[in-house]
Amino acid sequence: MLGLLQRVSEARVVVDGQTVGAIGAGLLVFVCAEPADTPQHACRLVDKLLKLRIFSDEAGKMNRSLQDTGGGLLIVSQFTLAADASSGNRPSFTGAAPAALGRELYEAVLAEARKRHTPAGRVQAGVFGADMQVSLVNSGPVTIPLHIV
């Protein structure tokens, strides 16, 4: 499972002119399932997102996790993370899971995150397969790619 996380001051997702998910300080995470991924990969991704120490402590060092700060978590599906642009000028997306599996695993990530990162509303989401407009203020900037195997 692939993830691209960005530490943000704020982020939101708009679909058809309507905001479907928004957070203040926290993490914006783009997620892409790969063909061999399972629900266990989704659980491991959420574990990493909640425990990764990328927020500043009192001394200004990256030493606090999302669990420590209680920040928001905005999760957005993005199959283009699996793009292969190594040959030609048009990327291939065969590295992404088929849509049905991608949706199942994206929903597994959301369910696990909502179960573990409470209270309700702290976890927000985009809409799987939708044309989304994502806006964010990257804090730091901090952007970290993840590959959960």
Task: Point out the catalytic residue in the list 30, 55, 78, 124.
Answer: 78
Task: Point out the catalytic residue in the list 80, 118, 133, 143.
Answer: 80
Q: Would residue 79 show up in a list of annotated catalytic residues for this protein?
A: yes
Whose structure tokens read 């590295």? Answer: 95
The answer to whether the CB of 8 falls within 8 A of the CB of 25 is yes
What is the distance between the alpha carbons of residues 132 and 16, in angstroms, rounded to a whole number? 8
- 57-71 burial string, b = 16+ CB within 10 Å, else e? eeeeeeebbbeeeeb
Task: Point out the catalytic residue in the list 6, 30, 55, 79.
Answer: 79
**Half-sphere exposure of residue 34: CA atoms within 13 angstroms, side-chain side:** 17
What is the distance between the alpha carbons of residues 23 and 26, in angstroms, rounded to a whole number? 7
Q: Would residue 80 show up in a list of annotated catalytic residues for this protein?
A: yes
Residues with catalytic annotation? 78-80
